[in-house]
Amino acid sequence: MKLFAILSLFVFFGLVAAWSKEDYEIFGLQNDVATNEDANVTFYDLLEIRPNANQEQITKAYRKKSRTIHPDKVKRAFIANYAKDKSKAKTNKGVNVNKGPSQREIDAAVKDADARSARLNLVANVLRGPNRERYDHFLKNGFPLWKGTGYYYSRFRPGLGSVLLGLFLVFGGGAHYAALILGWKRQREFVDRYIRQARRAAWGDETGVRGIPGIDSIAAPPPTAPESDDAGAVAVNRRQKRMMDKENKKDKKDKKGGARVSAASGTSTPTEQTASTGERKRVVAENGKTLIVDSIGNVFLEELNEAGERQEFLLDIDQIERPTLRETMVCKLPAWCFKKTVGRVLGTSTEEVDSDEAEEPLVEEAETTATSNSRSRKRGKRSQRS
């Protein structure tokens, strides 16, 4: 709160000190000229010179103009022209006596001439002095307007389209990305707390290192795989190869747009280990989920699938991908509109990929059938030989 107040004071003083005393004089003189002469009349137009005139030309033009609007000369010209204007206005026949202007009218004309002469003098002083450069700056970039207690530049007033576009960029881009980052951080904190609590409940320590596997007890050798025919091995290899190709395609789609850099988690969670190692211990979390902690600190979430089989999923905060700008509404909404409009006309490759994936199980079933038939034939031949 104190920082906000200090920043507000700095902004206030910056706005107050934005214009100097000479700038205020130029602004006031410019408003006076625009009010009494014309809104588009500049100081150069008032002296009837060009903006690139030198000091000698400015002085010469000022002297010529000052003689024209001198109060004494204006008074004589006003009285002489007043009689001519009155005589032209009268159209009745007979004897007409031309009366001169009243003293009040003469005083008003002289007063106006004094104001114009003083204004011309101030304009000449600005153009012949050091403030000419400052005046040229405002003449080029625009003069601020008087609003309330000071001079301010007139702000740009956007239309409805600009306002909607700005709101979409702010809330659909910046705010949405900030919300995604906040959710990502909370998810990492939740998983990290989940892992620490499971390790503490299993081994009594957040590091979760029970011991080096293989020293306390000798691991049982894995069961030997039964021998199979060559045709069965070929079928299995083909099936595994297709599964590996599908997994590689999925990984490429997920990692498209840049590689993800893993950050330090602070929980010593191994990322390369995907199966439990050594001694295992099953614990129950606060929300009722069953967790399995192995001897090196890996934490697995145990769940039952639809077939009733138990599956284990490794919990690792580094596997939670950081959201990118492509996941915001600024990128998703145009892509969705393109897919619904132009994408339907041009067609996408997703339908072809889905059809390929749908054909793969059929091929696998055919190969499995062929493999079983070959096995039965070989067994029949062996029985006939025997």
The rounded distance, in Å, linking the Cα atoms of 203 and 196 is: 11
User: Is the distance from CB of 208 to CB of 202 less than 8 angstroms?
Assistant: yes
pLDDT score at 7: 47
pLDDT score at 96: 55
Of 109, 65, 111, nearest in space to 85 by CA: 109
pLDDT score at 182: 94
DSSP element (H, E) containing 301 = strand 299-304
Work out the number of other CB atoms within 10 angstroms of the CB of residue 385.
Answer: 6
DSSP element (H, E) containing 377 = helix 350-385
The rounded distance, in Å, linking the Cα atoms of 318 and 261 is: 9
pLDDT score at 304: 81
pLDDT score at 236: 46
Exposure of 147 in the CB half-sphere (CA atoms within 13 A) = 8
pLDDT score at 277: 64
The rounded distance, in Å, linking the Cα atoms of 298 and 292 is: 8
- Give every residue of the chain whose pLDDT is below 70, as ranges: 1-18, 83, 85-98, 146-158, 206-241, 250-278, 347-386
Q: Which residues contact 168 (CB under 8 A, 6 or more apart)?
A: 329, 330
The rounded distance, in Å, linking the Cα atoms of 297 and 209 is: 5
pLDDT score at 235: 44
Chain segment 263-307, per-residue pLDDT in tens = 444 444 444 445 556 677 788 877 778 888 887 778 888 888 888
Interhelix angle 21-36/103-128, nearest 10 degrees: 140
In sequence order, the β-bridge partners of residue 292 are 282, 300
Joined together, the tokens standing for residue 275 give 């199966």
Chain segment 54-86, per-residue pLDDT in tens = 999 999 999 998 888 888 888 888 888 876 766
User: Is the distance from CB of 334 to CB of 169 less than 8 angstroms?
Assistant: no
User: Is the distance from CB of 292 to CB of 206 less than 8 angstroms?
Assistant: no
Exposure of 155 in the CB half-sphere (CA atoms within 13 A) = 4
